[in-house]
């Protein structure tokens, strides 16, 4: 079961610290990364200054004030990095900070990956303008790939820079902003190259457990899960099942034409199962219609489940250390030092203990 409240339908994957690390195959691509990041750095200002300025928007100041309470909790209680990240604010004057381009083969669920010396290999390329992202997507589509462009409201540079709270995050509720801070600071606390499932599941667990403790510290009841979160989890399950069926399909010795027809049929099956779920259990709630009825392909399925796969394993690990955060991070680091296959086997053992 997908447990995370993380919104793969709300938030794209973070664009990791790919800039200023070398290794870009395209000088123009590297240039737009560097200039985009530099523009973001120039836009930063201390959150304390915004809060103290009576000429700034009252709602913005209140939102930022509450974010700083969560930021302090992250360091003092969750033992996350104590630095200037998320103690700065940047007005970026656009709805997304970057647009990520995902791509796969026409009959494959394996992502086209892009590798960098420190961040490792990631399943997308990020662009600071929507036009550049769409241009890249168009080129890859002409090459016969399935492509998907996703706007991203926030990302982490893994501590290479002091990451700001951005104006693109200001439509979030106070708690969602707090969870983002916990998640991204967890990436700064520890990160393993070339293992997105490990990194995102670990950060998602820190986010979830950190949020639970944050609510308890303020005397709020444990969150039972909103109807939207439960419905998102159900849709995630449908999409994961579809992905499994497609994976089996692509392993069959079929002609391209037959493969295309059966691929299209699987996406129609997903929509049909979604409609049945929506109309029989959700009271006709159409909030996810936009995602389901948009043009569907392999690349759109790539981000699904990435944040959640090993969350149960990290839950079990946290229980093993009796909820001691420093001991938990030490144990996570030891897992991260293992070769990837050994690390995966250890996570599978831990996950079994959580059931």
Q: Give 239-257 pLDDT, tens digit per residue.
A: 999 999 999 999 999 999 9
Closest to 74 in 3D by CA, of 224, 188, 191: 188
Question: For residue range 140-195, what is the model confidence (pLDDT) as tens digits?
Answer: 999 999 999 999 988 888 888 999 999 999 988 899 999 999 999 999 999 998 88
pLDDT attached to residue 123: 85
Give the separation between CA 342 and CA 78, rounded to whole angstroms.
28
Percent of the chain with pLDDT over 90: 74
Q: Identify the band that residue 27 occupies on the pLDDT scale cut at 50, 70 and 90.
A: confident
Give the separation between CA 34 and CA 322, rounded to whole angstroms.
43
Q: Identify the band that residue 95 occupies on the pLDDT scale cut at 50, 70 and 90.
A: very high
- pTM for this entry: 0.83
Give the separation between CA 150 and CA 176, rounded to whole angstroms.
19
Asked if 147 contacts 72 with a C-beta cutoff of 8 angstroms, the reply is no
Asked if 23 contacts 165 with a C-beta cutoff of 8 angstroms, the reply is no
Buried b / exposed e along 286-318 (16+ C-beta atoms within 10 A) = eebeeebeeebbbbbbbbbbbbbbbbbbbbbbb
Closest to 313 in 3D by CA, of 273, 274, 345: 345
pLDDT of 236 above 90: no
pLDDT attached to residue 232: 84
What Rg value do the Cα atoms of the chain yield, rounded? 21
Of 33-37, 129-133, 343-347, the one with minimum mean pLDDT is 33-37
pLDDT attached to residue 4: 36
pLDDT of 19 above 50: no
pLDDT of 104 above 60: yes
Distance of CA 17 to the CA centre of its chain: 14
pLDDT of 62 above 90: yes
Q: How far is CA 143 from CA 72, 93, 224, in A?
A: 48, 33, 46
pLDDT attached to residue 222: 74
pLDDT attached to residue 117: 63
pLDDT of 11 above 60: no
Give the separation between CA 4 and CA 233, rounded to whole angstroms.
8
Asked if 97 contacts 168 with a C-beta cutoff of 8 angstroms, the reply is yes
pLDDT attached to residue 172: 87
Asked if 80 contacts 185 with a C-beta cutoff of 8 angstroms, the reply is yes
Question: For residue range 278-297, what is the model confidence (pLDDT) as tens digits?
Answer: 999 999 999 999 999 999 99
Of 4-8, 95-99, 160-164, 308-312, the one with minimum mean pLDDT is 4-8
CA atoms within 13 A on the CB side of 272: 7
Closest to 187 in 3D by CA, of 1, 35, 13, 5: 13
Kindly state the tokens that stand for 193: 């190259």
Q: Which residues contact 306 (CB under 8 A, 6 or more apart)?
A: 8, 13, 196, 197, 200
For the chain, give the mean pLDDT.
89
Strands 125-127 and 44-46: unpaired
DSSP tag of 82: -
pLDDT of 302 above 80: yes
pLDDT attached to residue 14: 42
The residue among 220 and 308 whose pLDDT is bigger is 220
Of 41-55, 202-216, 298-312, the one with minimum mean pLDDT is 298-312
Beta-strand runs (E) in the chain: 44-46, 88-90, 98-104, 114-116, 120-122, 125-127, 146-152, 165-166
Give the separation between CA 77 and CA 210, rounded to whole angstroms.
9
The residue among 142 and 123 whose pLDDT is bigger is 142
């Amino acid at each position: 079961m997908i447990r995370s409240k993380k919104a793969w339908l709300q938030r794209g994957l973070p664009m990791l610290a790919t800039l200023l690390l070398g290794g870009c195959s395209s000088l123009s691509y590297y240039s737009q990364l560097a200039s985009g990041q530099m523009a973001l750095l120039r836009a930063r200002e201390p959150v304390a200054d915004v809060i103290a300025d009576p000429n700034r928007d009252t709602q913005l100041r209140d939102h930022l004030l509450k974010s700083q309470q969560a930021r302090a909790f992250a360091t003092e209680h969750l033992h996350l990095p104590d630095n200037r990240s998320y103690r700065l604010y940047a007005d970026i004057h656009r709805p997304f900070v970057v647009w990520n381009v995902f791509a796969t083969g026409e009959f494959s669920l394996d992502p086209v990956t892009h590798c960098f010396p420190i961040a490792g290999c990631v399943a997308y390329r990020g662009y600071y303008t929507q036009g550049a992202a769409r241009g890249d997507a168009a080129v890859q589509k002409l090459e016969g790939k399935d492509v998907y462009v996703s706007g991203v409201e926030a990302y982490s540079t893994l501590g290479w820079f002091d990451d700001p709270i951005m104006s693109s995050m200001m439509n979030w509720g106070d708690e969602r902003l707090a969870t983002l801070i916990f998640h991204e600071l967890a990436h700064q606390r520890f990160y393993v190259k070339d293992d997105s499932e490990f990194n995102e599941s670990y950060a998602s667990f820190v986010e979830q457990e950190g949020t639970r403790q944050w609510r308890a510290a303020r005397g709020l009841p444990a969150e039972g899960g909103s109807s939207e979160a439960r419905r998102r989890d159900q849709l995630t399950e449908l999409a994961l099942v579809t992905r499994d069926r497609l994976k089996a399909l692509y392993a069959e010795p079929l002609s391209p034409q037959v493969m295309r027809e059966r691929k299209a049929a699987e996406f129609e099956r997903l929509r049909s199962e979604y409609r049945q779920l929506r109309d029989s259990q959700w009271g006709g709630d159409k909030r996810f219609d936009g995602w389901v009825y948009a043009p569907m392909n392999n690349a759109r399925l790539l981000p699904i489940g990435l944040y959640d796969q090993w969350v149960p394993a990290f839950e079990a690990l946290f229980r093993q250390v009796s909820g001691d955060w420093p001991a938990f991070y030490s144990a996570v680091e030891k897992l991260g030092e293992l070769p990837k296959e050994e690390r995966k086997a250890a996570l599978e053992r831990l996950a079994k203990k959580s059931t």
